[in-house]
């Protein structure tokens, strides 16, 4: 049994051996990630609004797609509000800390 293949990927000190390390990928900031998520939520809500308007005008026959899009938008907005509330709560907790 050849065990020389086990040590090909050296684990550095204080590194989680189960964490996937990607060094070639460009790093994105938290603000960029948050901005991308908010743009995605915004486009989902706009798409749902357009589908609702078309449904009201009688242009869409399949109501299932409209309801699915509506629920996706609702969930995205609920998640966004929850994340915002948790961020505000964490900020307020940090402001209450005594130095």
Residue the block writes with tokens 């684990």:
11
Q: What is the pLDDT of residues 80-94, one digit of tens each?
A: 999 999 999 999 999
Domain ranges of the chain: 28-96
In the chain, at which residue ranges do the beta strands (DSSP E only) sit? none
For residues 15 and 53, the model is more confident at 53
Nearest-angstrom CA–CA distance, 7 and 25:
24
Q: What is the pLDDT of residues 29-69, one digit of tens each?
A: 888 998 999 999 999 999 999 999 999 999 988 899 999 99
pTM over 0.75: no
């Amino acid at each position: 049994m050849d065990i020389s293949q086990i040590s090909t990927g050296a684990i550095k000190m204080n590194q989680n051996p189960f964490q996937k390390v990607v060094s070639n990928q460009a790093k994105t900031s938290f603000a960029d990630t948050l901005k991308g998520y908010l743009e995605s939520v915004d486009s989902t809500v706009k798409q749902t609004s357009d589908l609702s308007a078309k449904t009201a005008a009688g242009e869409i026959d399949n109501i299932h797609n409209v309801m699915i899009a509506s629920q996706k938008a609702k969930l995205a907005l609920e998640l966004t509000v929850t994340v915002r509330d948790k961020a505000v709560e964490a900020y307020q907790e940090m402001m209450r800390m005594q130095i």
